Structure 1
Amino acid sequence: MVVMNIGLAVLAALWISNYYRLAAVSGSSMEPALSQGDIVVVRMGTLPQRGDVVVIDSKVLHKRIIKRVIAVEGDTVFVSDGEIWVNGEVLVEEYIKEPYEHENGDWVVPPESVYVLGDNRNHSRDSRMVGFIPMQEVMGTVMYPENKFGGK
């Protein structure tokens, strides 16, 4: 009976690990939402929406990073005078740590890609440096702790 219970526990853990994983935050790029050493629960294989915090297996940076999705495929992004506009609407960013100077520009997010930024913009390596993130590099969406600044 004990062996069967252990076997069932192992099977349940394997099943759950297909859908959820734990990740540790490394660095300060997501402050104030997430800080160095925070542990997050990641729902694997989810389709990210604007405002979601995601874990990315970056091929460019050769490491896993955690960033906020600012725009998804087909979105038009326009940056001017320190403001980000997505699809013609100014992005209200109560989650960023401090104001920073944006570089002006405009672009459309390509198919099966997202545009991500760290909440601590002055200390983040993100889409401004590495470009659009292919969806196959997005591992999943952070489910816990809940996004205290709201999504979308």
Structure 2
Amino acid sequence: MIRTALALVALACLAGWLNRLRRGYLVVTVRGPSMTPTYRHGDRLLVRRRRGGRIRAGEVAVVDLPEWIRPVPGELGPREALRARRVIKRVAAIPGDPVPFPFEGAGAVVPPASLVLLGDNPDGSGDSRQYGYVPADAVVGVVLRPLRDHS
């Protein structure tokens, strides 16, 4: 009886720890060349969930960009819908920082609650140079490190 109770307590502790881990971290897979040479297509990255207000310039962030999509002709539903497109980019500037080159935003400094995101591969990256300032609250987390296979 005591062994069963101890096993149940241990199992409950393990489940709680795994749930906390899942809420605090996630694993993402790099798609495309925009972060080369830092990260390559197919790399898996360990990400710590963090709000955009706590991000620093130079960190690599996972961000959910809002994106308007249009349905396929003949498809039922609304004319347009908003969905998130997840990207991995380096934070080039945070609110109050000077607007970095080559990004040309309005004004001399990054506005409140906004970020400038740039890919490490400028020739192969869609980033703030194309879509402008990104809302800081779109940040999902910060990359901690790549997860490498030891095979």
| Fold in common (TM above 0.5) | yes
Q: Output one character per residue of 1:45-104: Cα deviation in whole Å (capped at 9) or x when no partner.
A: 1521111000001113731000001000011225xxxxx3xxxxxxxxxxxxxxxxx476
**Any conservation in 2 of the 1:76–1:106 contact (CA below 8 Å)?**
no
**Any conservation in 1 of the 2:105–2:133 contact (CA below 8 Å)?**
no
Q: Which runs of 5+ in 1 are unaligned?
A: 79-83, 85-101, 147-152
Residue 12 of structure 2 is matched in structure 1 by 7
CA-atom RMSD, angstroms?
2.2
Residue 94 of structure 2 is matched in structure 1 by 72
One-letter identity of the residue aligned with 2:98: T
Residues 14 and 112 of structure 1, relative CA distance in 2, 3 Å threshold: same
Residue 75 of structure 2 is matched in structure 1 by none
Pair 1:141-2:131 in alignment = no
Q: Output one character per residue of 1:83-130: Cα deviation in whole Å (capped at 9) or x when no partner.
A: x3xxxxxxxxxxxxxxxxx47676321111110000011111111111
**Any conservation in 1 of the 2:63–2:86 contact (CA below 8 Å)?**
yes
Greater Rg by CA? 2
Pair 1:53-2:60 in alignment = yes
One-letter identity of the residue aligned with 1:50: A
Residues 7 and 22 of structure 1, relative CA distance in 2, 3 Å threshold: same
Residues 124 and 114 of structure 1, relative CA distance in 2, 3 Å threshold: same
Residue 98 of structure 1 is matched in structure 2 by none
Pair 1:40-2:45 in alignment = yes
The percent of aligned pairs where both chains have the same amino acid is 35
TM-score by length of 2: 0.73
**Any conservation in 1 of the 2:28–2:44 contact (CA below 8 Å)?**
yes
Residue 117 of structure 1 is matched in structure 2 by 118
Q: Which runs of 5+ in 2 are unaligned?
A: 1-5, 69-83
Residues 128 and 60 of structure 1, relative CA distance in 2, 3 Å threshold: farther
TM-score by length of 1: 0.73
One-letter identity of the residue aligned with 2:61: V
**Aligned residue-pair number:** 124
